[in-house]
Structure 1
Amino acid sequence: MPGLYLHIPYCKQACHYCNFHFSTTLHNRDSMIDAIVEEMKLRRADLPDQPLRSIYLGGGTPSLLSGAELERIFRQIHELFQVDDEAEVTLEANPDDLNQDKIKQLWASPINRLSIGIQSFSETDLRFMNRAHNAIEARACIEYAQDAGFENLSIDLIYGAPTTSDEQWARNIEIALDYDIPHLSCYALTVEPRTALAHFIQKGKVKDVDEEQTARQFEYLIAALRSEGYEHYEISNFAKPGWRAKHNSSYWLGKPYLGIGPAAHSFDGERTRRWNVANNARYMSGMELWSNDPEQIPPDLIEFEVLTDDQRYNEYVMTSLRTSWGLDLDYLQNIGEQYPDHFLQNAQAYLDAGHLSRKGNTFRLTEDGKLLADRIAMEVFV
Structure 2
Amino acid sequence: MENESGHTAFQSFSPFGGQGASGIYIHIPFCRQACHYCDFHFSTSMKKRDEMVLALAKEITVRREEFKNETVETIYFGGGTPSVLSNEEIQFLIDAVYQNYTVGSNPEITLEANPDDLSAERIIQLSQSPVNRLSIGVQSFFEEDLKMMNRAHNALQAEVSIAEAVKHFDNISIDLIYGIPGMGNERWIENVEKALSFGIPHISSYALTVEPKTALHTLVKKGIISAPSDEAAQEQFQILVDILEANGFVHYELSNFGKEGYFSRNNTAYWLGKKYIGVGPSAHSYDGMHRSWNVANNTLYLKSMEDGKLPSETEKLSIADRYNEYIMTGLRTIWGVSLERVETEIGSIYKHHLEKEAAKFIEQGLLSNDNGILKATKSGKFLADGIASDLFFLNLD
Contact residue 128 and residue 163 of structure 1 kept, 8 A: no
TM norm structure 2: 0.92
Question: 1:277-296 maps to which residues of 2 (within 5 A)?
Answer: 277-290=295-308
Partner residue in 1 for 2:114: 94
2:183 alignment partner AA: T
2:167 corresponds to 1:152 = no
Could you say what secondary structure the match of 1:283 adopts? helix
2:146 corresponds to 1:126 = yes
Partner residue in 2 for 1:310: 320
Cα distance change, pair 371–74 in 1 and its aligned pair in 2 (3 A): closer
Could you say what secondary structure the match of 1:311 adopts? helix
In the TM superposition, residue 61 of structure 1 has moved relative to its aligned partner by 0.4
2:369 corresponds to 1:358 = yes
1:163 alignment partner AA: G
Structure 1 segments of 4+ aligned residues over 3 angstroms from their partners: none
Partner residue in 2 for 1:240: 259
Question: 1:329-348 maps to which residues of 2 (within 5 A)?
Answer: 329-333=339-343, 334-348=345-359
1:191 alignment partner AA: V
1:206 alignment partner AA: I
Match of 1:211 among 226, 230, 243: 230
Contact residue 124 and residue 163 of structure 1 kept, 8 A: no
Match of 1:54 among 74, 77, 82: 74
Contact residue 254 and residue 382 of structure 2 kept, 8 A: no
Q: Could you tell me how far apart the structure 1 residues matched to 2:118 and 2:107 are? A: 23
Q: Could you tell me how far apart the structure 2 residues matched to 1:375 and 1:288 are? A: 42
Q: Could you tell me how far apart the structure 2 residues matched to 1:16 and 1:186 are? A: 17
2:197 corresponds to 1:175 = no
2:273 corresponds to 1:250 = no
Match of 2:385 among 330, 355, 374: 374
2:386 alignment partner AA: R
Q: Could you tell me how far apart the structure 1 residues matched to 2:302 and 2:35 are? A: 25
Contact residue 2 and residue 48 of structure 1 kept, 8 A: no
Give me the identity figure in percent: 47
Gapped regions of structure 2 (runs ≥ 5): 1-20
1:94-134, Cα deviation, whole Å (9 max, x unpaired): 00000011111111110000000000000010001000000
Contact residue 133 and residue 169 of structure 2 kept, 8 A: yes
2:390 alignment partner AA: E
Q: Could you tell me how far apart the structure 2 residues matched to 1:350 and 1:76 are? A: 47
TM norm structure 1: 0.96
Could you say what secondary structure the match of 1:52 adopts? strand
Match of 2:290 among 253, 272, 287: 272
2:351 alignment partner AA: P
2:207 corresponds to 1:188 = yes
2:59 corresponds to 1:39 = yes
Partner residue in 2 for 1:106: 126
Could you say what secondary structure the match of 1:154 adopts? strand
2:292 alignment partner AA: R
Q: Could you tell me how far apart the structure 1 residues matched to 2:123 and 2:371 are? A: 48
Q: Could you tell me how far apart the structure 2 residues matched to 1:378 and 1:370 are? A: 14
Q: Could you tell me how far apart the structure 2 residues matched to 1:282 and 1:35 are? A: 12
Gapped regions of structure 1 (runs ≥ 5): 291-296
In the TM superposition, residue 48 of structure 1 has moved relative to its aligned partner by 4.2
The number of equivalent residue pairs is 372
1:71 alignment partner AA: Q
